[in-house]
Amino acid sequence: MSLLLRGRTTKSTWEMAKAEPVCPPETMDSEDMLFMLYTSGSTGKPKGIVHTQAGYLLYASLTHKYVFDYKQGDVFGCVADIGWITGHSYVVYGPLCNGATTVLFESTPTYPDPGRYWETVERLRINQFYGAPTAIRLLLKYGDEWVKKYDRSSLKLLGSVGEPINHEAWEWFYNVVGEGRCDLVDTWWQTETGGICISPRPSESDGEIIPAMAMRPFFGIRPTLLNENGKVIEGGDVSGALCIAQAWPGMARTIYGDHQRFVDAYFKTYPGYYFTGDGAYRSDEGHYQITGRMDDVINISGHRLGTAEIEDALDEHPDVPETAVIGFPHDIKGEAAFAFVVLKDGITLTEQAIKEDLKSIVATKIAKYAIPDHILMVKRLPKTRSGKIMRRVLRKIAGGNTEDLGDITTLEDPTIITEILEAYHKYKTEEAAK
C-alpha cells in the first residue's frame, strides 16, 4: 500500500502516517447492531435485515466449527461474495471468530477458465470448500478434466448453499471434485437466520449423509412443518410450510426502520412460529429436504429476488402499465424469470426496442442477473374477478406446460388465456428460428 502511494499524493501519505496503527476496540452491547443486509421478500421493497453483535457471532462461529468440522490450522474456502450473507457468515465472521485462515475469492468460476476454483484449491491448500449449486451445475458441463488437472488432496469437506442442489450436481461435486472421499453437506439457511439451520454434521457419530438433503437441524433449531390451517404436521413422509418453533442466537432482530414489517413478514402467518417462506419435506427418519419457496420469491443462480421487485422495475417504463414476473426451472441458474408485459395502446417504439429498454432498466435498478430470460408482450394479464393475477396459470405457461392449465373458471375473462397462448406460441416459434 505504501509503495503504491509513494510518489503520488504525498499529502494523503502524511495523513495516513499520522493515524494510530492500532484502533482501540469499542465496547458494544450484545444487542447492538452488527450489520444490516438488504434482502428480497415477496413485496417490491427490499428488507434491511438487522443482525446484532453477540448472538450472530456466536451462531456464525459455532456453525462454522461444527458443520464444516473446522480444525485449527485448516484453510477455509467459501467462494461467496462477501456482499451477501454467505460471505458475511462464512468468509468473514464465522471463520475469523474461530481464528481460521479464510479465503477471499474474487474471480468467477469460469475466469480465466473453468478450472479456477480447483486451481485455487491446489494453490491455497483449501481444506473446506463451500459454494453454490448454480456454479457446480455450470462447471460440470465443462467436463471433469478441468477438475482433475489440479491437486485436490487438501480437501476434506465440501458444502453447498443458497438453493436446492439437484442430484446430478450433488453426485458430480461429491464424486469428481471430492473424489468420493470428502463429506458433502447441503446447508439450508437464510439471510434472516444468520447462519446454517439445517445441514448434515458428518463429524458427529451419527454423521450419515443422504445426497441432496439438508437433513438435520443445528443445535437449538426446532424445525416444524405446518399445514395451510396453521396446524403442526406430525410424523414422517410429510410436507408443509417450514417454520422454526423457538428463537435461536443468530436470528435477525428486526427490519431496519420497520419493526412491524418484521413481525408481519415472519411471525403473523403462523402465530408463535418463525415462518421461513420455504416448504419442506420430512422423511420417515425425520430428515428434512427443502422443496422451495412458497411465496413469490425466486432464486436465480443463488440470488434471492422477489418477483414484485422485478415487476416494479419493469413497470417504470413509460410504455408499460402492467407486468407479471414468474419463475421457471432453468438447467444452470436453478430458476429464471419469465416476464409477461402489457404495453400501452399507441406506443411509438418497436417491441424490440422496448424489450431492450426493459432489460437495461432491470440491470440498472436491480442487477444483470435479474434480467428476465423471456419477455412476452401480451394484451392483458389473466385476472380473477377480484382483480388478482392468476399466477398459477402464468407459472404453467412460463414452464412450457400449455396443455393443462387447471381450473380457469374464476377468471374474469377466460379468453385472455387464448390470447396469451397465441402470443406465447408465436414467441417460441420466433425464438426457435433465431
Residues that bind ligand PRX (CB under 6 A): 39, 85-86, 161-164, 186-191, 214, 276-278, 290, 293, 299, 304
Give the nearer residue to ligand PRX in terms of CB position, either 171 or 419.
171
Give the nearer residue to ligand PRX in terms of CB position, either 130 or 340.
130
CB of 189 to ligand PRX, least distance (A): 5
Question: How many CB atoms are located within 10 Å of the residue 264 CB?
Answer: 12
The two beta strands, 238-244 and 223-226, are antiparallel
Helix-helix angle 307-315:351-365, to 10 degrees: 120
CB of 141 to ligand PRX, least distance (A): 21
**Longest Cα separation, the chain:** 75
Give the nearer residue to ligand PRX in terms of CB position, either 253 or 304.
304
CB of 89 to ligand PRX, least distance (A): 8
Give the nearer residue to ligand PRX in terms of CB position, either 52 or 63.
63
- Residue pair 34/51 in contact (Cβ under 8 Å)? The answer is yes
Give the nearer residue to ligand PRX in terms of CB position, either 288 or 338.
288
CB of 303 to ligand PRX, least distance (A): 7
CB of 383 to ligand PRX, least distance (A): 28
Question: How many CB atoms are located within 10 Å of the residue 404 CB?
Answer: 6
Give the nearer residue to ligand PRX in terms of CB position, either 60 or 416.
60
CB of 241 to ligand PRX, least distance (A): 12
d(CA 315, CA 357): 11
d(CA 213, CA 47): 28
Angle at 246 between CA 243 and CA 247, to 5 degrees: 110
Give the nearer residue to ligand PRX in terms of CB position, either 165 or 375.
165
DSSP labels for 356-400? HHHHHHHHHHT-GGGS-SEEEEES---BBTTS-B-HHHHHHHHTT
- Give me the sheet containing 274-282, strands edge to edge: 223-226, 238-244, 274-282, 288-293
Q: Hey, what's the cell of 421?
A: 397462448
- Residue pair 296/264 in contact (Cβ under 8 Å)? The answer is no
d(CA 207, CA 111): 35
Q: Hey, what's the cell of 66?
A: 461444527
- Give me the sheet containing 33-39, strands edge to edge: 33-39, 47-52, 254-255
Give the nearer residue to ligand PRX in terms of CB position, either 187 or 323.
187
Give the nearer residue to ligand PRX in terms of CB position, either 305 or 397.
305
Indicate the DSSP class of residue 270: S
Q: Hey, what's the cell of 378?
A: 401480451
CB of 297 to ligand PRX, least distance (A): 7
CB of 25 to ligand PRX, least distance (A): 29
Q: Which residue is nearest to ligand PRX (CB)?
A: 191
Give the nearer residue to ligand PRX in terms of CB position, either 209 or 393.
209
CB of 400 to ligand PRX, least distance (A): 23
What are the respective helix, strand and coil percentages of the chain, to the nearest 5?
30, 25, 45
d(CA 100, CA 64): 10
CB of 289 to ligand PRX, least distance (A): 8
Which residues lie closer than 8 Å to 348 by C-beta, 6 or more apart?
none
d(CA 434, CA 419): 23
Give the nearer residue to ligand PRX in terms of CB position, either 102 or 191.
191
CB of 276 to ligand PRX, least distance (A): 6
